[in-house]
Amino acid sequence: MAHRASTPSVTTLPSRSRLICVATMLLIAILAQPLTGAAASAGQATRLPENVLQASVRIMTNIQVTPDDTDEAPFLCLLDEDTVFDYSVGSGTIITEDGFVLTNHHVMDAGRLPREISDYCEDQAPRGRGDAEWTHTVWLPDARGNPTDPYRMEVVADSTYAEDLAVIRITEHLDGSPLDTASDPFPFVEFGDSDALREPEKIILVGYPLNAGDNRRVSEGIFSGWGDNGFGVQWIYTDATISGGNSGGTAVNSEGLLIGVPTQGTFSDCRAGDTNSDGLIDENDQGCISLGGNYGILIPSNLARVFAEAAIGQEIAVVEPATPVEDEPEPVAEEPEPAADDSAVDADGPPFGEIAFIAYDETQAEQDEFQNVNWIDGCFENLTAQQGQEGIATWYLDDSEYLVTEFVWDDAWNPEACASIFIEEGEEDPFLDPGVYRLEVEFEGQTVVSDDLTVTISTNVESVSFRARDADGESIEASSDNVLNGEPTLLCADIVFTGMAENSIWQTEWYEGGRAIVASDPEVWGNNPDGDETVRMRNPDLGPFEPGDYELVVTVDGVESQRVSFTIED
């Protein structure tokens, strides 16, 4: 099996400015694994099954206003003319293919709508006459974890505050079109046995924390033990990172089986906070916000499963864990035939087969196409396996040397290996440059295998320009190099789109110093392939934006289409 995490003995940097790393061919004498689904090496995160990632959903609570004028359609309350008022955000897990979702009670229980908020929203109706009420939406993610597929839902069962569980059901698409789960079932997560957890077993969390904008995030930790949930029930404690917005989300073991539901902290791990997102901390805020830095708490899946079975009216299977590899009999390897000459490559033919190229995006999800890729494996097979031979793997981009790795073939028992190129985590541009890549592998000056592929990058954004307003409403125009002078309290980005497909989903995210500040709601594109859109952002702290470096990222159908930097100066 070829692992992708090791230190190359010799590397040369490509001509581009950012750092590209290569994974050398690390050959380990263990049972062969499929190259497209190799297990992670030590210190490397587990690649989650796709159904786990796709079944973790975002649950949004907004305020819908129904005007008294029957000729006017209901609408969502806005913070400003372009921004929907997101009252609260949580996560959930689809647990059946027909759309039942498991989440927290406190995610669904928005409580009584504060009078000042209902007045504010109802004032947006014609002549200020209308009724404001809660509305919940379930968003399924695309391949990159952007919530882009919205659905209406209904509450099927809701528990007490102490149990903190709820079951909802997806009923129809947000546009009112019906579901067809017979031919297009929902992805769902199977249940594991939470009672089988033993310290320090791995736990992986999937959800939509508020500090990540709108996007899905995965964190990893261990099962740290059992503890009182504050109401005399034993819940799961973990050191995996849980942030506000993760509530109701997905906690799985290393096999991708549901073993818990993230929930809010106990009162010993609690501080007052703006839980209803109205910009104030007052009596209208329900519950608490975790202090952070402490243990996260999970509702055991065995308790959640019993609650869900009663709500759905049917039993839910518990998947037995797979037999550990160490319990299986070790394969008996036959002694390889010695080569006629261990110092040379067989002159009668190349010892390697063809190269299989495998592409991954920045979330480590395998891609069908070589477009907008973050990582490429070039995997090949050694058919003669000569121990101790020195080799060189060279990547070329458009016939220019791109990256070189020297290695020693140190495992005659394993005929498989991969040479990889990828973008370091945290780099500004997450995608490999477009062009024709070629991988050549040679032994003792003889090229034994060579193959190429073409990488492309898609973009639907032609240009982005910035402007702003200060607290007095005065306009601030950006300079040619995207510098805004003054004390802006409102930022505007004018985006020119081109070549957009009908019903594409586009979205923007604003960053300050590399930290996500806010994301716009996903928008559905019309039938004109070209057009202009404007997005606005107010300072979350309600004052002028701090001087510094900022970025706007535009995504189309979950793929980053444009990333533009701008600066605010005094």
pLDDT for res 22: 31
pLDDT for res 326: 44
CATH topology of domain 194-312: Thrombin, subunit H (2.40.10)
pLDDT for res 46: 56
- Answer yes or no: is pLDDT of 25 > 70: no
pLDDT band at 186 (very low <50, low <70, confident <90, very high): very high
Q: Count helices and strands (H / E) in the chain.
A: 4, 36
Query: pLDDT: is 123 or 443 the higher one?
Result: 123
How would you class 220 by CB atoms within 10 Å of its CB: exposed for 0-12, middle for 13-18, buried for 19 or more? middle
Query: pLDDT: is 263 or 10 the higher one?
Result: 263
Q: What three-state secondary structure class fits 510? A: strand
> How do residues 441-480 score in pLDDT, each as one tens digit?
887 778 888 888 888 776 788 889 999 998 888 999 999 8
Which CATH superfamily includes the segment(s) 461-569? abc- transporter (atp binding component) like domain (2.70.50.60)
CATH topology of domain 2-45+364-455: Immunoglobulin-like (2.60.40)
pLDDT for res 7: 26
pLDDT for res 328: 43
Cα pseudo-dihedral 40, 42, 45, 48, rounded to 10: 30
- Answer yes or no: is pLDDT of 28 > 90: no
Rounded to the nearest 5 degrees, what angle is found at the Cα of 436, between the Cα atoms of 431 and 441?
100
- Answer yes or no: is pLDDT of 123 > 60: yes
How would you class 201 by CB atoms within 10 Å of its CB: exposed for 0-12, middle for 13-18, buried for 19 or more? middle
- Answer yes or no: is pLDDT of 261 > 90: yes
Give me the phi and psi of 416, to 5 degrees please: -110, 145
Judge whether 274 and 282 are in contact, CB under 8 Å: no
Query: pLDDT: is 418 or 237 the higher one?
Result: 237
Closest of 155, 150, 127 to residue 139, by C-alpha: 150
Mean pLDDT of 305-331: 76
Judge whether 393 and 421 are in contact, CB under 8 Å: no
* Side-by-side strand order, sheet with 356-360: 20-23, 416-423, 375-381, 356-360, 366-367
Topology alike, domains 2-45+364-455 and 461-569 = no
pLDDT band at 222 (very low <50, low <70, confident <90, very high): very high
Query: pLDDT: is 67 or 391 the higher one?
Result: 67
- Answer yes or no: is pLDDT of 140 > 70: yes
pLDDT for res 300: 95
The whole-chain average pLDDT of the chain stands at: 79
Mean pLDDT of 189-201: 93
Nearest-angstrom CA–CA distance, 213 and 194 = 30
pLDDT for res 411: 58
Mean pLDDT of 350-360: 74
Query: pLDDT: is 539 or 513 the higher one?
Result: 513
In the chain, where the domains are located: 2-45+364-455, 50-173, 194-312, 461-569
Q: Give the pair of three-digit tokens for residue 264.
A: 């809010």
Q: Which CATH architecture has domain 50-173?
A: Beta Barrel (2.40)
- Answer yes or no: is pLDDT of 192 > 50: yes
Strand 56-67, strand 515-519: pairing: unpaired
- Answer yes or no: is pLDDT of 526 > 80: yes
Single pTM value for the model: 0.49
